[in-house]
Structure 1
Amino acid sequence: MPFALHLLASAVFAMGTSEFMLAGLVPDIATDLDVPIGTAGLLTSAFAVGMVVGAPAMAALARRWAPRTTLIGCVVVFALCHVVGAVTPMFAALFGTRMVAAVAAAGFLAVALSTAAELAPPDRKGRALAILLSGTTIATVAGVPAGALLGTALGWRATFWAIALLCVPAALGIALGVPGRSADAAAGDFSIRFELAQLRMPRLLFAMLLGALVNGATFAVFTFLAPIVTDIAGLGDWWISAALVLFGIGSFVGVTAAGRLSDRYPGPIIAVGGPALMLGWVALALLAAHPAALLGLVFVQGALAFAVGSTLITRVLYAAAGAPAMGGSYATAALNIGAAAGPAIAAATIAAGELMPVWLAAASTGLAVVVALPLLRVLAPRDLENAR
């Protein structure tokens, strides 16, 4: 696979670290900026909303720009937002920077997904997606714990400076390693109206819906894993980081395995992995009070969730082949609609018990399985040429 994909993944690592590490910094931000902790928690929602809105908006705005220019521009804006966030004394300004940073991150991921699909051989889009998403999974394994430790040692502002610094080598690497192409070559011969019309295709909408359901389930549990570890399993606070790292390692294993298999065997991954993922959420809900079972299932579910979820997002890229500039934004939107809606719905139900997000994940995944299995040939036809 082209080395440029790994350079893109390094930027995804920085952005994923920024997105996920905020959960551990909210109490310190609330104290430092003198706002209620619930208000500080809105920073997470601001990022999620910015990601959902930013992907199609940035892809449409930049479709006639050279991809390398767009990618570098998004990384630079993302870095500058973190610099402003690191020095501002006002919560409103910090909130604004999170929104803008999310739009930049969404634009970057949308263009990066389209670029990766074009850099990779026609039948290896899944492998290219796995390399990009490895940046996110490594962020959960290494970036988030490192950010939490840095925030504890030097304060939350230090983590914002660290993210800004991580963007510098990523931008330089993209400038030097991503092939330059003309704006016309990036957009092809398709009009924006034609690319948006691809959203009428049942196969594309089907893949986006299933991707949102599965990823929504994943992020619902990931967001509220901490109280399950401490209140249900009765483990100490430091086990929260251990559980998150286990989930991250599992997700890296899952996305890597799916990257090698999802192009040739998407049907079996969905048909076998989907029900296994649903049953795994049920098992986690039933066995969460047993620490060993909980930690083992956290690893397994991380692997299954990212294997199935990334395979579904890959199907979005195949189905959106007629939208070379906008296709990446459709995949990004499917991923982040789930990332925003899953935790939001889980937050509304968690008052009924710490395990409600897990049951919600089981129900969401079960719905995806019930919808997917009868129409599997539509979602993952054996002939890849038909899928494209």
Structure 2
Amino acid sequence: TVAVAVGAPLGALVATVAGWRGTFFAIAGLGALAGAILWYRLPRGIVGTRLPLRMRLAAALRPGVMPILVTTILALIGAFTVFAFVAPFAIEGGGLNPIALPGMLLAFGVGAVIGNIGGGQAADRFGATRTVCWSLALSAAMLVTFSLIPMFLPREIAGPALMAMMVPWGIVGWAFPPAQASRIIKLAPDAAPIVLSLNASALYLGVALGAVVGAAVLRYGAPADLGVVAAAFPIVGLGVVLAGHLAARPVAMPAE
């Protein structure tokens, strides 16, 4: 969450000043610095738990785990279909100046921090499945709104409207990960580290696939199409969650 809140806008700011190559040079330098600090500070001789790949993959075959992983992938595809291409979306669709992009990403990051904290609290108070359902439904609605804004509003209003959407979108979208983590831990508490790592892998796979989907949309359509296409993925994810929830309900047997 900190990376989204700070890293994304900082990277966009560096790109505005030094170009996209400057951002990659900055990432390489910071990565090398972080590696050197870890090498110097971490105790020697730390040995992690070694598990064969077969055992790690077997956790994914537990009842209910695979639908959760699929839902995670779908949710992140939807989010990053737009987020990965927020620059052309905001500049071409909303008429924003490129210098406004770091502020736009910072607004999303602030919302993401709030959502990450609030999502965990909502999962504890209202239930993880209910929180995930609300996050998916509201994310889909906001993604559709992202497409409607440049379609129906004049450019001088569309830009500020898109900026205003970033904080609530960050809140709604990032309420999903902590609630989803609660769901998968509840299914396999004895294998929590393994299923959490699988869920994290599903999350990053969704991020990568979201960029692929967004690129395809821009190749065959317009930036304003991104939100509508992206919204389909959390809607399908919501269907997966609801189908699993209904299937898990005990069936009432008629009295004889």
TM-score (norm 2): 0.79
Q: Which residue of 1 aligns with 2:81?
A: 220
Shift of 1:135: 3.5
Is residue 106 of structure 2 the alignment partner of residue 245 of structure 1? Answer: yes
Q: Which amino acid aligns with 1:246?
A: A
- 1:281 pairs, out of 143, 154, 158, with 143
Is residue 157 of structure 2 the alignment partner of residue 292 of structure 1? Answer: no
Shift of 1:234: 0.9
- 1:169 pairs, out of 32, 37, 41, with 37
1:336-388, CA deviations, whole angstroms, 9 ceiling, x for partnerless residues? Answer: 12111111022112131112221121111111112212433778xxxxxxxxx
Q: SS at 2:11's partner residue?
A: helix
Distance (Å, rounded) in 2 between the aligned partners of 1:147 and 1:316 = 37
1:172-206, CA deviations, whole angstroms, 9 ceiling, x for partnerless residues? Answer: 55x26xxx9765xx35xx86544422222231101
Native 8 Å contact 2:15 2:22 kept in 1 = no
**Closer, same or farther: CA 348–263 of 1 in aligned 2, 3 Å:** same
Shift of 1:259: 2.9
Q: SS at 2:97's partner residue?
A: coil
Q: Which residue of 2 aligns with 1:383?
A: none
Shift of 1:263: 4.5
- 1:349 pairs, out of 203, 206, 217, with 217
Q: SS at 1:335's partner residue?
A: helix
Q: Which residue of 1 aligns with 2:203?
A: 335
1:303-360, CA deviations, whole angstroms, 9 ceiling, x for partnerless residues? Answer: 1111124422443344344445633431122111211111102211213111222112
Q: Which residue of 2 aligns with 1:302?
A: 170
Q: Which residue of 2 aligns with 1:129?
A: none
Distance (Å, rounded) in 1 between the aligned partners of 2:64 and 2:187 = 6
Native 8 Å contact 1:255 1:307 kept in 2 = yes
Distance (Å, rounded) in 1 between the aligned partners of 2:176 and 2:4 = 14
Q: Which residue of 1 aligns with 2:3?
A: 136
**Closer, same or farther: CA 240–192 of 1 in aligned 2, 3 Å:** closer
Q: Which amino acid aligns with 2:59?
A: Q
Shift of 1:141: 5.3
Matched ranges for 1:47-66 at <5 A: none
Matched ranges for 1:6-21 at <5 A: none
Q: Which residue of 2 aligns with 1:268?
A: 130
Distance (Å, rounded) in 2 between the aligned partners of 1:343 and 1:233 = 20
Matched ranges for 1:82-121 at <5 A: none
**Closer, same or farther: CA 345–322 of 1 in aligned 2, 3 Å:** same
Q: SS at 1:202's partner residue?
A: coil
1:8-42, CA deviations, whole angstroms, 9 ceiling, x for partnerless residues? Answer: xxxxxxxxxxxxxxxxxxxxxxxxxxxxxxxxxxx
Q: SS at 2:72's partner residue?
A: helix
**Closer, same or farther: CA 169–135 of 1 in aligned 2, 3 Å:** farther
Native 8 Å contact 2:74 2:233 kept in 1 = yes
Q: Tell me, which stretches of 5 or more residues in structure 1 are unaligned?
A: 1-133, 380-388
Is residue 226 of structure 2 the alignment partner of residue 364 of structure 1? Answer: no
**Closer, same or farther: CA 317–242 of 1 in aligned 2, 3 Å:** same
TM-score (norm 1): 0.54
Distance (Å, rounded) in 2 between the aligned partners of 1:337 and 1:159 = 21
- 2:59 pairs, out of 177, 181, 198, with 198
Q: Which residue of 2 aligns with 1:259?
A: 120
1:211-230, CA deviations, whole angstroms, 9 ceiling, x for partnerless residues? Answer: 00001111111111111111
Native 8 Å contact 2:5 2:105 kept in 1 = no
Give the number of aligned pairs: 239
Percent sequence identity over matched residues? 21
Native 8 Å contact 2:116 2:171 kept in 1 = yes
Q: Which amino acid aligns with 2:73?
A: A
Q: Which has the higher contact order (CA 8 A, sep 6+)?
A: 2
Native 8 Å contact 1:211 1:335 kept in 2 = yes
Distance (Å, rounded) in 1 between the aligned partners of 2:18 and 2:185 = 37
Distance (Å, rounded) in 1 between the aligned partners of 2:12 and 2:40 = 26
Distance (Å, rounded) in 2 between the aligned partners of 1:314 and 1:335 = 15
Is residue 101 of structure 2 the alignment partner of residue 233 of structure 1? Answer: no
Q: Tell me, which stretches of 5 or more residues in structure 2 are unaligned?
A: 249-256
Q: SS at 2:172's partner residue?
A: helix
Distance (Å, rounded) in 1 between the aligned partners of 2:211 and 2:52 = 36
Distance (Å, rounded) in 2 between the aligned partners of 1:276 and 1:336 = 21
Q: SS at 1:285's partner residue?
A: helix
Distance (Å, rounded) in 1 between the aligned partners of 2:28 and 2:81 = 25
- 1:315 pairs, out of 173, 180, 183, with 183
**Closer, same or farther: CA 287–170 of 1 in aligned 2, 3 Å:** farther
Distance (Å, rounded) in 1 between the aligned partners of 2:192 and 2:240 = 27
